[in-house]
Every structure is written in C-alpha cells, then in structure tokens.
Chains A and B, each alone.
Chain A
Amino acid sequence: MSAPARDYFALFQLEPVFKIDDAALKRAYYALLDQFHPDRFAGKPQVEQRLAAQFCADVNSGFRTLSDEVYRAEYLLSRQQVDLQAAEREGVGSEFLMTQISLRERLASSESDQAEEREQLLQEINDHYTASLEQFDVAASEGHWRDAARCWQEMCYLSKLLEVAQTESR
C-alpha cells in the first residue's frame, strides 16, 4: 500500500541522533511545506497533485515524529529494528515502577489549591523525565539499544504523567 518509508532524518537533512537542532528541523520543515504543499500544486495535473499531497503527508508525519522527544526516541529505536513490543513486555525496572507509582499517588492526592506543592511535584516529575531523556541519549549514541528502549518507556510514562499534572494545574 504505502511507499517504502522515508528516512525522516534524511528528509530534514539531520544526523540520525537523538539530540537534534530544533531550529534546523523547523527551517527544513517549512521550506519543504512551502514548496510541496498541495496548495502549491493547484492547477497542476492531478498526478502531480496526488504525489505532492503524499509527500506532504510524509513531511508532516516526519515533523511530528522528530519534533516530539518521545516520538523521536521511539523512531530511533524502530530504525534500529528494536522490537518495541518485546521491550514493552520486558518493562521498566521495579525501582522506576515504584517511583512512578509514588509520583502518581502524590499527584492524585494533592489538592488543587496547594499551588506551591503542585508546582514542586511538577518540577520533580520533570526532573525524572529529563534524567531518563539524558540516559536515552547516552544509551542510543553508544548503541546500547536495550537500555535505550527501557529509557524510552520511562519517558513515555513520565511524559503522560507530566501531561496530566499540567492540565490539572491549569
């Protein structure tokens, strides 16, 4: 059905590493959209319109994948043929699990009027997330993909928790 998947890093002229230059990604993204958005092919033969729309869909998907840290980590793993489902079955370490559960419990029991306490909790979750992210970067650049897959899962848990905490405190 779909054409062989494009390499998103190559698409945006980036090195296939975790830490990328966000500004360069954005520049490349807008330059491609500016040129290949279906609106730019108005009045062109239908074949060209269709190809442009397909390419543009790839560009948008690629941008969405690379601009988000969790998606980008996942993409790096899948590029290395890491079996993500197996990684999920293997799970995260019990220590992380305990940390995660305790953060979740504290979030659930914290009252919305205790702004200071919530702010601190938010910061704590964020610190954990950043730590997992840094670990992922190290593991990925050294080619330790099993470790990287575990860090990616931690990032998934923590980013969801962060999302919940942020929406609630708004």
Chain B
Amino acid sequence: MVLMQISEPGAEAEQTAARRYAVGIDLGTTNSLVAHFDGEVVQVLMDEDGRASLPSVVYYGDGKSEVGGKAEAFAVAEPHNTVASAKRMLGRARAEFNDDPYVALTQHGLAFETDAGQKTPVEVAAQLLIELRSRAQAHSDEHMVGAVITVPAYFDDAQRQATRQAAELAGVKVLRLLNEPTAAAVAYGLDEAAEEASLLAVYDLGGGTFDISILRMSRGLFEVLATGGDSALGGDDFDKAIVDLWLERLHLSDPTPGQRRRLLECARQAKEMLSTDEQATIDCSALAMSSSELTLSRSELEQVITPFVGRTLSACRDTLKDAGVESLDRVVLVGGSTRTPLVRHAVAECFGCDPLCTLDPDQVVAMGAAKQADVLVGNRAADEALLLDVIPLSLGLETYGGLVERIIDRNSTIPVALAQEFTTARDGQTGLVVHVVQGERERVEDCRSLAQFELTGIPPMVAGAARIEVTFRVDADGILEVAAVEQETGASSEVVVKPAFGLDESQITDMLKASYEHASEDMLARKLGEARLEGESLVVGLHAAIAKDGDLLNPDQRSELEGGMLTLQSALTDTDPEQIRALTEALGRASEAFAARRMNRSIQIALQGVLITDLGAEDA
C-alpha cells in the first residue's frame, strides 16, 4: 500500500538500520523463559549455566533472596520462605486461597509470610522478571527497549493489571500483554498463513496446570472463542502416580519425605525417558530401599496416567461445546507434558487432526512472544499481519436493581472506547456510584467486580433529569479505564482499573525507590537509555513529518519546532535523563497540534484510498 508512508522513506531506513532489541517473556506458573527474535531465528536465552527455563520460584530468607534454581534449593528446609506458583495468586482475592497456610491477607492485600517480611504476588513476579531482564540484557549490548509478556487467555483485567505492575516494578517496559495461546500460534507462523478463516485449539499441559483454548483466526485477527481447563492438573500428577505405583511394588507404605522427594525425581526421569524409549530403568541405590533399581514400561506409564489424560479430554470437549465449534483445522501443543506419546495420540484422536509439535512445547509461548516483540518495536515492515486481540469478557456497570448494563461486548476488538448515558434514580441525587463489572451474566452478583468509584457534584435535579456520560476505554493490552462526566456541570471522575488486591501507586513508587537504592547505577543507565531513545525517535519522526507535511505549519510554528528539535538533539549527548526527558516532553507538547493535523490528513488520504480500491474492485 502506498498510503502507509507517514514518514519520509529516508528516515524509516535510518530507524530500521539499527534493530531495536526487544524480547518475549513467558512468565509461567512453574517455569519462566525469555526469548529473542533477531529477524531470522528465535533464540531462547540461556543463563550462565546454559539453562533455558527459570523455575518460577523466589526465596526470601533472612537478609538474602534467591531466584530460580537457587531458590528451589530452599523449598524443603524453609518452605515458608520459598514462594512458588505465585502466578496463581496474581490479582486474585483472598477467598480463593484460604487453604494456603503461608498466605495472609495484609493491609497490602494478599501476601506471603516470609522471614524477609510480607511479599505480594506482584513483588514475587517482579523478582522473576528482574532475573529475566538481566539475562536478556546480558545477551546484547543494545539497550533492551521492552518486552512482550504472555498471560493466560482467561486472565481478567485485574490479573493483567497485576502482571503489568510486576513489570513496572522490575523496570521492564511492556510492549504488549499477549495471550499465551495466541503466542503459541504466532510461534508457528499461523498468523501469516491464516488468509482464510481457520479454527485452532491450543492444548497446554504444563507441570501443574492444564489450559485449553479455542481460537479463530481470520485476516490476522485472533479471537479467543473459549477457554477451559483445570488449574490443578498437570505433569506433576503423572509423577505422583508413578511414585504410588513404585511404592506399592516395593511394599513401602510410609516413605520419609526425603525418600518421596527422591522418588519423584526418579519418576520424572523415567517419564522423560519413556517419551522415546519403551522401557526405563532408574538407578536408585542411593535411596536405601529393598531394591536398587526402579523400572517402568511405556504401557505401565500409560496405564497410570490415563485417568489424568481423560480429564483433559473431557475439558477439551466441554470447551469445544462452549465455543460452539465441532471440528478444528489445527491443534498446537504447549507444555512439557505434551511430550508424552500417550498425550499426543489422545489429542490427535480427540480433535481429529495431527497436532503441531515441531517446536519445543516448553518454549513455544516465549518464542511467539519474541516474534511479536520484534514487530512491536518497529523492526519489521508495516505490511506484516496485524494481530488483533479481543476482550475475553463483557464489561459493564451496575444499574438500578443490581442489574448489569453492558457497555463493551465480549469479543470486541481492542483498543475500543464506548460511551453511554445514564441518569439519576432519585430526586435531588448529587452523587453516583459507578460500579464496574466484568462477565456475561445479567446480575451483578454473578459477575466479577472490577472497580467502584464515585461521581460527586451532580447538581440536584429531579430523578431522570441529570445526564451522566460514562465512557469505557480499553487499550491494546486489554486494560480498562472508566470515566464518568455529568454533562451539565462537567463534574467528572475516573478510574483505571487496578487489581482488587494489588498495590497502589504509592506502594509501587516506594518499592521502585527501594530498588533504585540497591542498583542506582543500573537504574540511571536504563533511564538514560530510555530517555535518549524516546528523544531520538521524536526528533527523527518530526524531521520526517516536516519534510512530508511541512505545509501544515505556518513559518512561526515551523521555526518553533525546528528550534526545539535542535535543542533536544544537542541534549541527547547529555548524561542527565531528566533533562532529556523534559526537553522531549516540551517538544512533544509543542508538536501535538501538528501531529493531530497530520493524523487527520492521513485519515483523509486513507479514506480516499479505501474508496478508490472499492471502485477498482467493482471495475474488475
């Protein structure tokens, strides 16, 4: 398309000459990964010891903390200090976790009680992201511009917000929160192939969770039609079942916790061997049991795991029904447990097509995120397929009588903004509580409450006379902002939906300050890099804009902008990020009207373009 040239061709070349460094992060329940796409291949980034996956575990001891494998080592001796699977609690309410002995409801919301103090799930996730960020940074001299972080498709607004907060805390700029199944499809390049509408299932069987998602793709548009699964089902259940079989065989009814742990390790080993072999033999002489060898055959394994696989299949069938879909074009396998041959066969049989499994199922989500990150920092040509995401659940607000008025329907393409007018129910009513909910049901109590805020200053009128416009805005990450304005007086109030049990702004600021103190130099370098990048892209962009649309400026406006560009350009070599930031902001503000006029022009041109293409099509 010729119309896409908003900036000067020369300037585009200048920008793409230096590839921007961005990564994809799979922040998993059990393991996390970071990957990078260099334009040719996706590489999963390893740590110093050559390991790709980082166990999602953080240890908070007295005076020290560890992340990943080093943290896992404390799991037995200090379980209360070793936090695993924090992702399950991100953005969730206390009631859902009242059986966990190490979790408490504090004034900061849900938190883990550790010797180093109370730690919220957001903080734990941030620790993992810090580790992954430094790993990513160790792989490149380029400043890391940002990351695409994946989240489960069923994550609601509060859980997405909590993920964002963790990233903010870790100093990772979020380019986009991407649904995990969508990321898996992107890794296989299915977004590029999908010219015709096609239906896709993503079967994700991890260590402790099972997720099934049904997606529809057409013209680069990914719609999540339905999701299902079991949050307490995974490869760990396979291991436990194998151990139970061995214990029965060894006539060992009451193993010590140490023996059980070792046996679980052996079980995992045997299970992995059986992905390729027919028979596994594990040396267990160190366990001091009646036998020094443990054996397991493929058919024995299949026998003990069949019930678990059966449960995943019935969840698949339910989800297909939810999606209103009978047959599928493709199935993508995600999660280490899908290496088990029985799982593959069962999935193939259930969906009636051979599953895609050529990419490593543990890494496929991070790989897709890395590819999308590359697109989102502008490294790829603009005619790439566009990933359009939709919101998974309807958004609305509570009206009289506990009913829900839907404002944005589920499956709306984002970003989106919609407004609706409301009025007062009582004579002389001067305030209004706006209660924002998410869900498909008609009654408020059947939906999930997201936020509540108050609009005050409505002039007293008879019931039904006030006109209050409530606007819902969902950005490209699926994050919601709600504003209410009384039309007569302009009285207004708004809220960005925050996790019900999360952190408030001041807590985040405090934590960020604390982390600066530990790594102030690192922070400064990062801030400087970010400030320079933003300043540079503004100068480059403006140059191109003036060359193309300079006629939209009068001589005064033009010289004002050019003056600002010179000042900013020379400040870019400074080492003070605040100075650069201030100048960038000033120039940004000064160029706002110009940018708006240019946007209008390109919209006009685009609209004419549409018309011309239409006429062309009719002629043909």
A43 in contact with B537 given A30-B219, A35-B1 (CB within 8 Å): yes
Is the beta-carbon distance between A40 and B386 smaller than 8 angstroms? Answer: yes
**A1-15 at interface with B (beta carbon < 8 Å):** 1-2, 11, 13
Stretch at the interface among B116-124, B295-303, B371-379: B371-379
Q: Do residues A1 and B492 form an inter-chain contact, with CB atoms below 8 A?
A: yes
Which of chain B's residues have a CB closer than 8 A to the CB of A32? Answer: 603, 606-607, 610
Q: Nearest A residue to B7 by beta-carbon distance?
A: A44
| A145, B588: Cα distance in complex, Å | 46
Interface of chain B residues 12 through 49 with chain A (CB within 8 A): 15, 20
Count contacts between A and B, CB distance < 8 Å: 122
Could you tell me the dominant secondary structure of chain B's interface residues? mixed
The docked-state distance in angstroms from the alpha carbon of A136 to that of B199 is: 36
Known A1-B483, A35-B606; judge A53-B475 contact (CB<8 A): yes
Contact of B416 among A45, A46, A57 (CB under 8 A): A57
Q: How many angstroms between the C-alpha atoms of A27 and B412 in the bound complex?
A: 17
A170 to B326, CA, bound (A): 12
Can you name the residue of chain A whose Cβ is closest to the Cβ of B145?
Answer: A43
Smallest Cβ distance from A4 to chain B, in angstroms?
A: 12
Which of chain B's residues has its CB closest to A34's CB? B386
Complex alpha-carbon distance, A58 and B415, angstroms: 9
Report which of B20, B382, B476 forms a contact with A38, defined as CB distance below 8 A: B476
Q: Specify the chain A residue showing the minimal Cβ separation from B539.
A: A45
Instruction: Pick the interface stretch among B128-136, B307-315, B589-597.
Output: B589-597
| Contact A61-B611, Cβ < 8 Å, known A39-B476, A42-B376 | no
Kindly list chain A residues whose C-beta atoms are within 8 Å of the C-beta of B377.
42-43
Which of A29-75 touch B at CB < 8 Å? Answer: 30-40, 42-48, 51-58, 60-61, 63-64
Tell me how far the C-beta of A139 lies from the nearest C-beta in chain B, rounded to whole angstroms.
23
Main SS at interface, chain A? helix
- CB-based contact B611/A13 at 8 Å: yes
Any chain A CB within 8 A of the CB of B105?
no
Q: How far is the CA of A80 from the CA of B391 in the complex (A)?
A: 31
B375: contacting residue among A24, A28, A30, A39, CB under 8 A:
A39
What CA separation (Å) do A164 and B608 show in the bound complex?
41
Give bound CA distance, A140 to B252, whole Å: 82
- Across-interface contacts of B289 in A (CB, < 8 A): none
Chain B interface, number of residues (Cβ within 8 angstroms): 57
Contacts of A52 in B (CB 8 A): 599
Please indicate the chain B residues that have their CB under 8 angstroms from the CB of A11 in the complex: 607
B534 interface hit (Cβ, 8 Å): yes
Q: In angstroms, how far is the closest chain A Cβ from the Cβ of B18?
A: 11
For A42, give its contact among B1, B6, B378, B603 (CB under 8 Å). Answer: B378
Residues from chain A with a CB closer than 8 A to the CB of B613 are 27, 31
Cβ–Cβ contact A2 & B419, under 8 A: yes
Given contacts A27-B613, A37-B386, A57-B417, contact A64 B599 (CB under 8 A): no
Q: Would B595 and A48 count as touching, CB distance under 8 A?
A: yes
B537 near A60 with CB under 8 A, answer: no
Partner of B542, one of A45, A57, A85: A45
**Measured CA separation A52–B409 after assembly (Å):** 22
CA distance A37 to B538 in the complex (A): 19
- Of B375, B415, B538, the most chain A CB neighbours within 10 A belong to B415
Given contacts A13-B607, A36-B606, A43-B378, contact A2 B591 (CB under 8 A): no
Binding site for B on A (CB under 8 A): 1-2, 11, 13, 24, 27-28, 30-40, 42-48, 51-58, 60-61, 63-64, 85, 170
Q: Could you give 12 example pairs across A and B, Cβ below 8 Å?
A: A1-B485, A13-B610, A39-B476, A43-B378, A44-B378, A44-B541, A47-B538, A47-B595, A53-B475, A53-B476, A54-B417, A57-B417
**Can you add 6 more A-B contacts, CB < 8 Å, to A58-B417, A60-B415?**
A37-B476, A44-B7, A44-B541, A47-B588, A54-B417, A64-B416
Give the 3 A-B CB pairs with smallest separation, nearest first. A43-B378, A57-B417, A60-B416
- What residues of chain B have their CB less than 8 Å away from a CB belonging to chain A? 1, 3-4, 6-7, 15, 20, 175-176, 219, 324, 375-378, 382, 386-388, 409, 412-419, 423, 464, 471, 473, 475-476, 483, 485, 492, 534, 537-538, 541-542, 588, 591-592, 595-596, 599, 602-603, 606-607, 609-611, 613-614
